[in-house]
Amino acid sequence: MKNWPVVAILASAQFVMVLDGTVMNVSISAVVEDLDTTVDAMQACITFYTLTMAALMLLGAKLGDVWGRRRAFVIGSIVYAVGSLTTALSPNVVVLFLGWSIVEGMGAVLVIPAIAALIADNYEGHARVAAYAIIGAASGAAVAAGPLIGGFVTTFFSWRYVFVAEVVIMAGVVLFSGRVTDRAGARPVRIDLLSVLLSAAGLLFVVFGMLQSKTWGWVIPLHPPVIGGVEVAPLGVSPTTWFMLAGAALIWAFVGRQRHLVATGRPPLVDITLFRILRLRSGLSVLLAQYAMTAGLFFMLPVYLQMTLGLDALQTGIRIFPLSISLILFSILGTRMSLRWSPRRIIRVGQVILVLASLLLLGSVDLELKGIAFGAGMFAAGAALGLLASQIGNVNMSSVGEDQSSEVGGLQGVFQNLGSSLGTALIGSVLIGALATSFATGVAESDLPAETQSVVNEATAGGVDIVPADSVSDLATEAGLDDAEAEELEQVYAESQVESLRVALVGLIVIAVVSLFFSRGIPTEVAGRPREQLPDGEGKAEEVSS
């Protein structure tokens, strides 16, 4: 490829943007211990990191038009580096939240849309397809390498050094950014602040409600918040439902606001008519499902491996290695396959493999997660995600002309990070909620005396925290249980963690199956080949529907 330094610079930035989440996931237990915090708090940090990006990505894309895409890319890279340095130096979880979840997220909302638009500015034809594939491969490589990098650095040094390295990489990106061409330049565009507030608040309410479902319950209130000694559950319904309904109403108001702006001749924050393009609609939906599954998988497995099995960060990364290596290999293979197969065929093959991989993982779940079936399931999941990553970027960005590339880049960033937020919030909440239910059932069915069961139930009335399984017996002894009762309680807790992992995997299977229905609008044409040369059944062009 000609002009390879440009894609190398942009791919380096994309690698760092994606690396953060996977590094933090395998470092959960180390960060919890280092900052004296909890798994619940880390779930919130991970969720809000991607939620910040999802909520502000449309604004970031619009600022790229106002400032110029290269300038926005450079400013975002600097902000991201400041957030990374703050995270590296964080003395507690509050500073970690501000530096990582907020400041880094705000930098990323400028960088990610600019990357997509700058690829369109710097490459044409097959070179553009290859460049988007390289960006997808960089994301895949970050997902794949993150557990190993994070595991190694966390185990032998400190998780903080990963963020120091990110500062160095982003400094290099800024230093060489002059090689990147910005043909569009700055354009005077008015930004509607009400649209920004409506979209950000709507997404925040939906994801926050989902995040709290593990404590509050979905519809029937379990442990709702207490204000002034009164449980807050309006009309006897969980706050989760009200938050999600409020979020949906705000998003609906946002859509109405965009239509109003267009009707009055003012520029909208996002062109709603883009969603009439079936190809783009399908691509964004598949992207959301892909990242929801990736984030869910990369949250639940490290939590189980570290908190149940007591593995360190490096051992966790090694267990995830089959997924890591296959994701990289099949990202490359998917790009090669695109010379003969249509994007729809490649994506649907990946989706079917993802369903089968989830079923294989579900069937392989046991207390140790050491079996061949587990390794095969992880490899298959990585292969599926690699095939999807090799196609989705180009499908979305080629749905529109260059003049709308920044806007679609912003939408792609929204759906990517919204998927990650929803995956972490939903699967994490299912995991923690199922743990509480399974533990309560296990205690009730155990041979523990009724008095002991009463003590345990009272202690866990507000929910069950995820803690290392081998620490339960010590906690039980401190609570006054004898050695035999403590040992039995530890066994109940360990079995409950296995059961909660199974329930969370069922959630992933549902997402994987549903995503199959999203891909009907993916293009059926092989890039760069005349229609008459296509294999049978792949000649029908994608449709555009309203």
- Check: pTM over 0.85? Answer yes or no: no
258 plus 287 within the same structural domain: no
The last residue of a domain, from among 203, 233, 268: 268
Is 517 within the bounds of a domain? yes
Give pLDDT, residue 536: 41
- In tens, the pLDDT along 293-324 reads 887 887 777 777 777 777 777 777 778 778 87
H or E stretch at 230: strand 230-231
Is 457 within the bounds of a domain? no
Of 385-399, 424-438, 459-473, 529-543, give the lowest mean pLDDT range: 529-543
Is 92 within the bounds of a domain? yes
Is 455 within the bounds of a domain? no
336 plus 402 within the same structural domain: yes
Range of the domain at 68: 4-181+269-434+501-532
382 plus 360 within the same structural domain: yes
196 plus 86 within the same structural domain: no
Identify which of 460, 463, 462 has the alpha carbon closest to the alpha carbon of residue 433: 463
Strands 230-231 and 226-227: antiparallel
Q: How many percent of the chain have pLDDT more than 90?
A: 7
Taking CA atoms, 137 is separated from 328, 333, 487, in Å, by 7, 10, 47
Give pLDDT, residue 95: 92
- In tens, the pLDDT along 170-207 reads 999 888 887 777 776 667 778 888 988 998 888 888 87
Is 514 within the bounds of a domain? yes
166 plus 280 within the same structural domain: yes
Is 162 within the bounds of a domain? yes
Is 471 within the bounds of a domain? no
107 plus 30 within the same structural domain: yes
Give pLDDT, residue 478: 63
* Tally of domains in the chain: 2
Separation between Cα atoms, residue 82 and residue 95, nearest integer Å = 13
214 plus 137 within the same structural domain: no
429 plus 527 within the same structural domain: yes
Question: 511: domain CATH number?
Answer: 1.20.1250.20
Separation between Cα atoms, residue 101 and residue 94, nearest integer Å = 10
346 plus 408 within the same structural domain: yes
41 plus 128 within the same structural domain: yes
Contact 118, 73 (CB under 8 A): yes
Identify which of 459, 455, 447 has the alpha carbon closest to the alpha carbon of residue 488: 447
Of 154-163, 475-484, 507-516, give the lowest mean pLDDT range: 475-484
| Rama region for 474: left / alpha / beta (φ>0; ψ in -120 to 50; rest) | alpha
The last residue of a domain, from among 250, 268, 286: 268
Separation between Cα atoms, residue 402 and residue 142, nearest integer Å = 27
What's the per-residue H, E or C state across 313-378? HHHHHHHHHHHHHHHHHHHHHHHHHCCCCCHHHHHHHHHHHHHHHHHHHHHHCCCCCCCHHHHHHH
Contact 31, 24 (CB under 8 A): yes
Contact 294, 143 (CB under 8 A): yes
| Rounded (5°) CA angle 261-263-264 | 65
Q: How many percent of the chain have pLDDT more than 70?
A: 85
- In tens, the pLDDT along 134-167 reads 777 777 677 767 777 877 888 888 889 888 988 9
382 plus 508 within the same structural domain: yes
Contact 268, 395 (CB under 8 A): no
333 plus 411 within the same structural domain: yes
Separation between Cα atoms, residue 275 and residue 278, nearest integer Å = 7
Separation between Cα atoms, residue 218 and residue 207, nearest integer Å = 13
Give pLDDT, residue 82: 93
- Here the tokens at position 430 are 């299912």
The last residue of a domain, from among 217, 242, 268: 268
Is 496 within the bounds of a domain? no
Give pLDDT, residue 530: 46
